[in-house]
Amino acid sequence: MHALHIGIAGAGLAGRCLAWRLLRAGHRVTLLDSRRRDALDTAAMVAAAMLSPLAELAVSDALVFALGQRSMELWPQWIAELHASDPQADAQPVYFRQQGTLVVAHGPDQSSMDHFTRLLQHKLPASHREQVQPLDAVGLATLEPALAGRFHSGLHLQGEGQLANDQWMEALAQALDRLGVVWYEEVVVHGLEAQRIRGKGGSGELDIAVDLVVDARGVGSKPLLSRLRGVRGEVLRVECKGVTLQRPVRLMHPRYQLYVAPRPHHQFVVGATELESEDTGDITLRSMLELGSALYSLHPAFGEARVLRLSAALRPALDNDQPACLLQDGIWHLNGLYRHGYLCAPALVESLMQKIGEAHA
């Protein structure tokens, strides 16, 4: 494929990852976003960024599982490539771990755990079932000493991973600059055509001619993708020096599933609510209490955790809750990443790059 000038609307998770791969492949990229690059209120920045192909299969389907499996191969490669290309990389490598996920339930909620286990065994391809390892109290304490004596049993979902999304998004922004991206921040895109992007920012109207356009505005693409909806998610970020976890822990509960994803410097991301609502307002008291009390029930030392941030954002979802990269009216769309954006992004970007390559061979 010859070098193209590609305009991308949206510099969130999808837009930023795609821009990076396109620039590395030798294309020119112009990126436009209505927010500043360090804005904290996008889905990309609010997410827990757990990479959970197995656990997510309980609430998704074979497509998401396949994209997730491919992405689990690509993530370590991507992170190594990003790191290798950054002269300052040693200063702050992107935090990435692939030590599996622990799933636990309190005694009265064991039926939720049993249901989850059966669902996984039913939906998982036979070749992956051995990745679901039952644990007794001793096995659980060996994996996560902090939880010793707190649960009688659990599951270890082997091969699952996690990423520090804030570090990833920042490192990508720096890589894009090094590769020569043209990035318009705080420009609201309001017009997309096959070879044209129009937007409005502080310095007035922009009208940019490109060879092809990709719309990656998440929920902001609603005017063009009518099947798109926003699904509200809220998370809590805490710092707690009294607890050390090696891997994300999911706590089964009949009303909500809590997860606690450890981050560097004793920080934890606790999430997430999932509400069929496009309310972009601050986290509610009810959600805060539910997340906080479930966290406290995981380990009482969390009672002394310092609350660093409470955040909410909309996950962009299509009717079938599947991600999509498709060409519609001459415009490429990368959207519908829903609750699996980090899980699926590398494989989706790879697929879109291939489709674009075939269309412009």
Ligand X SMILES: Cc1cc2nc3c(=O)[nH]c(=O)nc-3n(C[C@H](O)[C@H](O)[C@H](O)COP(=O)(O)OP(=O)(O)OC[C@H]3O[C@@H](n4cnc5c(N)ncnc54)[C@H](O)[C@@H]3O)c2cc1C
**Residue numbers of the site for ligand X (CB under 6 A)?**
9-15, 32-35, 42-44, 46-50, 188-189, 216-218, 220, 233, 235, 271-272, 313, 315-316, 335, 337-343
Angle in degrees, CA 120, 122, 125, rounded to 5: 85
Beta bridge partners of 235: 311
Beta bridge partners of 199: 189, 206
Minimum distance, C-beta of residue 259 to ligand X, in the bound complex (Å): 7
Minimum distance, C-beta of residue 14 to ligand X, in the bound complex (Å): 3
Minimum distance, C-beta of residue 243 to ligand X, in the bound complex (Å): 20
Give the residue among 302, 300, 170, 301 at the shortest CA–CA distance from 236: 302
Minimum distance, C-beta of residue 33 to ligand X, in the bound complex (Å): 4
- The CA distance from 42 to 291, in Å, is 20
- The CA distance from 307 to 239, in Å, is 7
- The CA distance from 131 to 345, in Å, is 22
Residue of minimal CB distance from ligand X? 12
The residue among 229 and 315 lying less far from ligand X, judged by its C-beta, is: 315
The residue among 100 and 233 lying less far from ligand X, judged by its C-beta, is: 233
- The CA distance from 165 to 94, in Å, is 8
Give the residue among 171, 228, 210 at the shortest CA–CA distance from 20: 171
Minimum distance, C-beta of residue 328 to ligand X, in the bound complex (Å): 16
Minimum distance, C-beta of residue 56 to ligand X, in the bound complex (Å): 8
The residue among 167 and 335 lying less far from ligand X, judged by its C-beta, is: 335
The residue among 27 and 35 lying less far from ligand X, judged by its C-beta, is: 35
The residue among 132 and 337 lying less far from ligand X, judged by its C-beta, is: 337
| Longest CA pairwise span in the chain (Å) | 64
Q: Report how far Cα 9 is from the mean position of its chain's Cα atoms.
A: 19
Instruction: Kindly compute the dihedral angle of the four CA atoms of residues 55, 60, 66, 71, in this order, to the nearest 10 degrees.
Output: -60
The residue among 153 and 284 lying less far from ligand X, judged by its C-beta, is: 284
